[in-house]
């Protein structure tokens, strides 16, 4: 599949075809087309379309690869440079991507915590679910990858808002030990005291109403994986032990 970058409002996405879209662009956007280092608010991975809606994050996880990989993710530049995409831009990106090649799921996952922009997340998930982004089919699977701090960041339980809009949440919990959680996740000071509890509450609440709730941990991180697995099951979610991303 030939890969091109098309840009709208400074955000790139990959795909095929798009000649009409090209000629609808202004001259500056056409020139930008030659610049493959433009930030990607949407990128492909496996069979999904991933949305990178923010670079802000309430944690600085020890295992985060964004700095080591210089904000690149397998060929996509996820450095938004502080210019977060608005909903109109995201809607256009999602529709254009689908037109170029359908995807199995829409995933909120980039170099930043998606719930930092909960309103945008809900708007995009809602538009997809309702069929407002035709030809994207109504009800397409939506997944959220999160560190589980959305409740603290947004000042209240966010699970009721996600219900019916998100089919799957993957929560980066990483440990059953609150002290170890602090050393692994390195939350901002204002989230240190109540962060671990917030993540557990989020997983428990999500497991009750979201069709799939998965809590993840990384192998070889000095974590007691038996305790981790037991805790996740007690919360009603599914544990997943994953390998560290290759360096
Ligand atoms: S939550 Fe994700 S983006 Fe944020 S620091 Fe951790 S790994 Fe990196």
DSSP characters over 63-109: T--TTTTTTEETTEE---TT-PPPHHHHHHHHHHHHHHS--SEEEE-
d(CA 242, CA 156): 29
CATH superfamily, region 40-242: Aldolase class I (3.20.20.70)
Atom in ligand 1 nearest the alpha carbon of residue 186: 5
Task: Answer yes or no: is pLDDT of 121 > 90.
Answer: yes
Residue of the CA atom closest to atom 6 of ligand 1: 61
- Output the CA 22–ligand 1 centroid distance in Å: 34
Ligand 1 centroid distance, CA of 111 (Å): 6
Q: In what order do the strands lie in the sheet with 105-108?
A: 42-45, 48-51, 105-108, 141-146, 168-172, 212-218, 238-242
Question: Is pLDDT above 50 for 29?
Answer: no
d(CA 185, ligand 1 centre) in Å: 8
DSSP string, 168-234: EEEEE---S-HHHHHHHH-B-HHHHTTHHHHHHHHHHHHHHHSSEEEEEEETTSS--HHHHHHHHHH
- Position in ligand 1 atom list of the atom nearest CA 66: 8
With a 6 Å cutoff on the Cβ, whether 7 touches ligand 1 is no
Does residue 35's CB lie within 6 angstroms of at least one atom of ligand 1?
A: no
Percent of the chain predicted with pLDDT > 70 = 84
Q: How far is the CA of 35 from the centre of ligand 1 (A)?
A: 27
| Mean pLDDT computed over 14-25 | 37
Distance CA 50, CA 108 (A): 6
The span from the CA of 113 to the CA of 97, in Å, is 22
Is the C-beta atom of 84 inside 6 A of ligand 1?
A: no
Ligand 1, atom 7, lies closest to the CA of: 64
Question: How many beta carbons lie within 10 A of that of residue 83, not counting itself?
Answer: 14
DSSP 20-78: HHHHHS-HHHHHHTT-TTS-BSEEEETTEEEE------SB--TT--TTTTTTEETTEE-
Q: What is the pLDDT of residue 11?
A: 60
pLDDT, tens digit (0-9, with 9 covering 90-100), for 62-96: 999 998 999 999 999 999 999 999 999 999 999 99
Ranges of H-type helices in 101-149: 118-130
Residue 57 Cβ contacting ligand 1 at under 6 Å: yes
Give the orientation angle of helix 87-100 with respect to helix 118-130, to 10 degrees: 40
232 contacts 207 by C-beta, under 8 angstroms: no
What average pLDDT is seen over the chain? 88
Task: Please answer whether residues 193 and 143 qualify as being in contact, where contact means their C-beta atoms are separated by less than 8 angstroms.
Answer: no
Whole-prediction pTM: 0.87
What band does 244 get if pLDDT is binned at 50, 70 and 90? Answer: confident
């Amino acid at each position: 599949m030939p890969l091109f970058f098309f840009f709208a409002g400074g955000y790139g996405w990959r795909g095929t075809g798009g000649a009409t879209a090209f000629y609808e662009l202004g001259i500056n956007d056409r020139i930008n087309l030659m610049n493959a280092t433009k930030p990607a608010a949407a990128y492909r991975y496996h069979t999904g379309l991933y949305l990178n809606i923010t670079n802000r994050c309430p944690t600085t996880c020890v295992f985060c690869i964004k700095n080591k990989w210089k904000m690149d993710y397998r060929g996509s530049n996820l450095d938004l440079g502080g210019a977060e995409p608005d909903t109109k831009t995201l809607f256009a990106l999602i529709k254009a991507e689908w037109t170029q090649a359908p995807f199995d799921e829409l995933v909120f996952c980039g170099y930043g915590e998606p719930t930092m922009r909960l309103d945008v997340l809900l708007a995009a998930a809602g538009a997809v679910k309702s069929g407002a982004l035709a030809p994207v089919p109504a009800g397409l699977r939506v997944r959220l990858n999160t560190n589980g701090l959305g409740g603290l960041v947004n000042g209240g339980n966010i699970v009721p808002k996600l219900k019916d809009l998100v089919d799957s949440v993957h929560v980066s919990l990483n440990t059953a030990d609150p002290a170890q959680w602090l050393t692994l996740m390195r939350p901002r000071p204002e989230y240190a005291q109540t962060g671990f509890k917030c993540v557990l509450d989020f997983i428990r609440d999500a497991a009750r109403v979201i069709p799939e709730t998965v809590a993840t941990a990384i192998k070889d991180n000095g974590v007691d994986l038996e305790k981790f697995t037991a805790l996740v099951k007690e919360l009603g979610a599914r544990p997943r032990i994953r390998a560290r991303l290759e360096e």
